[in-house]
Structure 1
Amino acid sequence: MERRSFIKNAGLLAAGCGLGATAAASSTVFRANKLPAWKGFNLLDFFSPDPSKSRRPTPEDHFRWMRDWGFNFVRVPIAYPNYLAIDRNKKITPEEVYRIDEARVAEIEKLVTMAHRYGMHVSLNLHRAPGYCINAGFYEPYNLWKDQEAQDAFCFHWNFWARRFRSVAAAKLSFDLVNEPAMREDMNDQHSPSSAVPGAVYRKVAAAAAAAIRKENPARIVIADGNNVGNTVIPEIIDLDIAQSCRGYYPGRISHYKAPWANKDVNNLPEPKWPGKVGNEHYSREMLEKYYQPWIDLVNKGVGVHCGECGCWNKTPHAVFLAWFGDVLDILGSHGIGFGLWEFSGDFGVLNSRRADVQYENWYGQQLDKKLLELLRRS
């Protein structure tokens, strides 16, 4: 029996036998992931704070292809200003954070409805929340982790979405609170020093948002992205019935090779290899296993885990990308952890990634990375 099948079967056996926390903590017993192993993609329709700069809406054909290829999950990262009625020539004020634009909300609802039509579980995520985003480029009037006013607005937005989708079953829709949290000193400076959010602060914010959501639907699945830009488990919320989301970008020298938003100097980077020596480090599957072990431990403690984002920018050599990503997906899949590739169509995607070293297959006018698709489908 292959390693993945053995571990999955062991986890199902442990869950079926009703083993308690003491037995589950044993190194020889594995628990099944509390979350389904959803597999799919991120869709960036509402990623920009400015609707006029948004991508074209995801066409229905894309959902049909996802379904036909065996995928069942889409994550929708949303910038909250995208659905506000505000003057975008001025800095937003705290009062304007509450000005919902119903026409924009209807567009988000339309995407969710279409995804459900093709059997997709939808995870709505605030990629930009009031007072925080991993990316700068939009003025924030306060700090989500420090200011109660920002936290109140955060809860308002999640309560709004919870009411809007109150009647949608938990199996079809989940809420991912805020993308890749970190404690940045200046919310409006991309390169401002940052660190992990203090655990007690993260707990306070997550607990309040989850309560605002479950006031409308107690069964709603709530997910919190890992601390320190999605990289680390949040032990402080394990008891809150909130799932956690890891990332599939480690190490960044592989996933974000020459990405200008992640590297100050893109012209003097060591050539990526997998496995092999990159700069002063030796990259291997073992380093990935060590990186993901805390997330596997979290599964074995009975907390749901999903990898909400993963993938590789298009400057990494394709063969290196596939070798590395195959290990990432195998480690996650061996423990029943699903994934959402960033993205479906675009520079990280299975379609239209604009890589210079890929022989694309024409797919109804789209450029399909067949090797990446095959890797995703067998994972």
Structure 2
Amino acid sequence: MTIIIEKATIKMKKLLKYILLLIYVALMPACGEDSGLDGVFANKPFALVTAADGGRTSISAVIDDGKRTIRLTFDKKRDVDAVELTFQLNPGYAMVSPKEPETTMDLTQPRTVTVSSGAGEVSYEISARNETPVLSASFLFRGKPIEGVIDHETRTVSFPITTIYASEYPEELLGAVPLDITLSDGYRPTSEKVSYDLSTGESFSVYKGRNTYTYRLVADIAPISVADHLSDFRFRRGVNLAYWMTEADRDWLGYVMPAQFPLWKELGFDHFRVPVDELCIFDREGQFNEKAVGKLHELFTWCEQNGMYAILDMHTLAPREGSDSYREEELYDPAYPEFRTHFVNVWRKLAAEFKAHNPKCVAFELLNEPHDGTPDATGWNKLQNEVLTAVREQDPERIVFVPAMGWQDYNYIKYARVAEEDPNAVVSFHYYLPMLLSHYKMLAWVGYQGAVQYPGVVIPTQSDADKYPQYASFHKTTYNADRIMGEMSNAASDGRNAGLAVHCGEFGCSKNVAEAMRLAWFTDMVAAMEANNIPWTLWECLDGGFGFVDMEYGIYRINCPLLKVLTGKELTDAEAKVLLQKYGFKTE
């Protein structure tokens, strides 16, 4: 506070001295002509010279009375052939040339300004130059220099970028760009920062003396349009090639043989979802398992040649380094940034490896059943953009399935986000509701051994609800065709509102459910999805607890009534047996 008061006092003293000086000069004629200008204004005709800077402000000239020069330096580039000038003279002086104190001059070359006083005339050389704070700004992007276009009038630096695809994410590509900035002599940056976010219009500032100049950085993106391959990806009914390349602790690579690929087309399916675990296709050093990758290439090539489609699904990541198991929540944990980077790099490698396959036949799915713990998929959407950026750098036109959050819950479709101009994105959800029915006496639901019902109240009796209180809510839960139809309608509607096609990547019902109930559930599911134009892939293609093929002691059997519900293919048991034998499956 003391310092502020002292500074104010000093300013007041200076002002008072100046006022007294003016009074003294005004009274000088009364003291006789000999007084003249021998005082403070002797040989100092100009109090101030200003010039319009081309905008709504003005700049002050540097006046050197010793050299008799007036120098104007513009920090905004402007033409100097018609500079609006204002000459403010000290007492006792008058303008000679130009005659008026407010005038316009061509300063493309130095000019002469003449003033007069009682002591005679004196001339000064006046000149102007452009000295902009920022001379250049550039950065290297995808191997090419991007030069900024500097507008000193609006204080913006615009970077024209023509190498970003419409399916990419500028906030990921331009979020931390190291800029090479060249300043005019005497100008200094206000901070040591070197990287800037060009996607949000971040600013940087420079200073010279007491003046500070702030420039806004703008990415002027002219995106490269991408072809719409999704319109040609004619998928409707598919199967998951479950267990073929998952569960790395067991060698499942012989589970599906290339010679058997045609079986599912003959059964009426048109596409495969191919779940893969990272440890099945990569080793611990991050190198490809050539045998597994070779089989994927074989499948994709067969699909291209036979009018089928495939979705490569990253089903489970390897545990992060230092951990013994995969925990998805660690992808969002700031304590493990290297795990997040690892996930991005996995997809960078996959995109490069399979880039040569026809984008109209082979698609990617980023991750199975993510669950970031947020109510609106905030954590996943940020990570998804990072992964998609890595994919799009390699393959900008590949069809990509982005999973709904919450274990691919259809209720999270509304939060799916992709680049607005990306025509090749699909949001995928899974449906196993009600869980007590679809997972009856299986997996995490094996604890319930009472009765179930479909359609109707899932636990039909009060006695079972009382016996298994942890499942009692299902005694108040009803599922039927109308409910499933409504939920599929909501899924389709949320997809449309998000501007995305919708796909049901998994659905199925436990084989422990009574056959009539199970067929009724599948019938209602397929009808609801087809009524809402939702393509789907059934969970499991062979054996397992959910699908349409049964296997016991190495003997395979097709559930023909269920196959008819799924694809409309009608087979007798005998015909199904012959078909299985044709593709090398034991039937007796």
TM range (shorter): 0.7 to 0.9
How far is 1:154 from its partner?
1.1
Q: Does 1:373 align with 2:554?
A: no
Q: What is the TM-score of this pair, normalised by structure 2?
A: 0.49
State the distance in 2 between where 1:312 and 1:353 align: 16
Going from structure 1 to structure 2, the CA distance change for 1:197 and 1:118 (only over 3 Å counts) comes to farther
Aligned partner (choices 286, 297, 306) of residue 109 of structure 1: 297
Q: Does 1:46 align with 2:245?
A: yes
How far is 1:55 from its partner?
5.6
Going from structure 1 to structure 2, the CA distance change for 1:100 and 1:61 (only over 3 Å counts) comes to closer
Q: Does 1:280 align with 2:479?
A: no
> 1:258 maps to which residue?
441
Greater CA drift, 225-234 or 291-300: 291-300
- Residues 36 and 338 of structure 1 are in contact (CA less than 8 Å); yes or no, is this contact kept in structure 2? no
- Residues 268 and 568 of structure 2 are in contact (CA less than 8 Å); yes or no, is this contact kept in structure 1? no
State the distance in 2 between where 1:237 and 1:282 align: 28
Secondary structure of 2:441's aligned partner? coil
Number of matched residues? 310
Greater CA drift, 291-300 or 334-343: 291-300
Secondary structure of 1:175's aligned partner? strand
Secondary structure of 1:238's aligned partner? coil
Q: Which has more radius of gyration?
A: 2
Aligned partner (choices 226, 247, 254) of residue 430 of structure 2: 247
Aligned partner letter, 1:374? K
State the distance in 2 between where 1:345 and 1:60 align: 14
How far is 1:198 from its partner?
5.2
Aligned partner (choices 40, 43, 58) of residue 256 of structure 2: 58
State the distance in 2 between where 1:115 and 1:54 align: 21
State the distance in 2 between where 1:322 and 1:126 align: 30
Aligned partner letter, 1:63? F
Q: What is the TM-score of this pair, normalised by structure 1?
A: 0.74
Gapped regions of structure 2 (runs ≥ 5) = 1-229, 460-474, 570-588
> 2:542 maps to which residue?
345
> 1:201 maps to which residue?
379
> 1:27 maps to which residue?
none
- Residues 270 and 308 of structure 2 are in contact (CA less than 8 Å); yes or no, is this contact kept in structure 1? yes
Aligned partner letter, 2:543? G
How far is 1:223 from its partner?
0.8
Aligned partner letter, 1:309? E
How far is 1:162 from its partner?
0.9
- Residues 162 and 216 of structure 1 are in contact (CA less than 8 Å); yes or no, is this contact kept in structure 2? yes
Greater CA drift, 217-226 or 142-151: 142-151
- Residues 370 and 406 of structure 2 are in contact (CA less than 8 Å); yes or no, is this contact kept in structure 1? yes
Going from structure 1 to structure 2, the CA distance change for 1:61 and 1:53 (only over 3 Å counts) comes to closer
- Residues 130 and 140 of structure 1 are in contact (CA less than 8 Å); yes or no, is this contact kept in structure 2? no
State the distance in 1 between where 2:258 and 2:290 align: 22
Aligned partner letter, 1:148? P
How far is 1:140 from its partner?
5.3
Larger proportion of helix: 1
Deviation string 1:275-305 (CA, Å, 9 cap, x unpaired) is 4452232222222233333311134333111
- Residues 273 and 537 of structure 2 are in contact (CA less than 8 Å); yes or no, is this contact kept in structure 1? yes
State the distance in 2 between where 1:37 and 1:46 align: 22
Q: Does 1:292 align with 2:491?
A: no
Greater CA drift, 103-112 or 41-50: 103-112
Aligned partner letter, 2:288? I
Aligned partner letter, 2:341? D
Secondary structure of 1:82's aligned partner? helix
Q: Does 1:150 align with 2:366?
A: no
State the distance in 2 between where 1:59 and 1:171 align: 24
Secondary structure of 2:537's aligned partner? strand
Following TM superposition, the consecutive aligned residue runs of length 4 or more in structure 1 with deviations greater than 6 angstroms are none
Question: What pairs up with 1:186-225 in 2 under 5 angstroms?
Answer: 195=373, 199-225=377-403
RMSD value, Cα: 2.7
Aligned partner letter, 1:152? T
Gapped regions of structure 1 (runs ≥ 5) = 1-32, 87-95, 184-194, 355-364
- Residues 239 and 273 of structure 2 are in contact (CA less than 8 Å); yes or no, is this contact kept in structure 1? yes
Deviation string 1:305-353 (CA, Å, 9 cap, x unpaired) is 1111111121111211110111111111112111111111112222225
Greater CA drift, 284-293 or 76-85: 284-293
Deviation string 1:18-49 (CA, Å, 9 cap, x unpaired) is xxxxxxxxxxxxxxx97744311000210112
Aligned partner letter, 1:119? G
Aligned partner letter, 1:145? Y
- Residues 182 and 228 of structure 1 are in contact (CA less than 8 Å); yes or no, is this contact kept in structure 2? yes
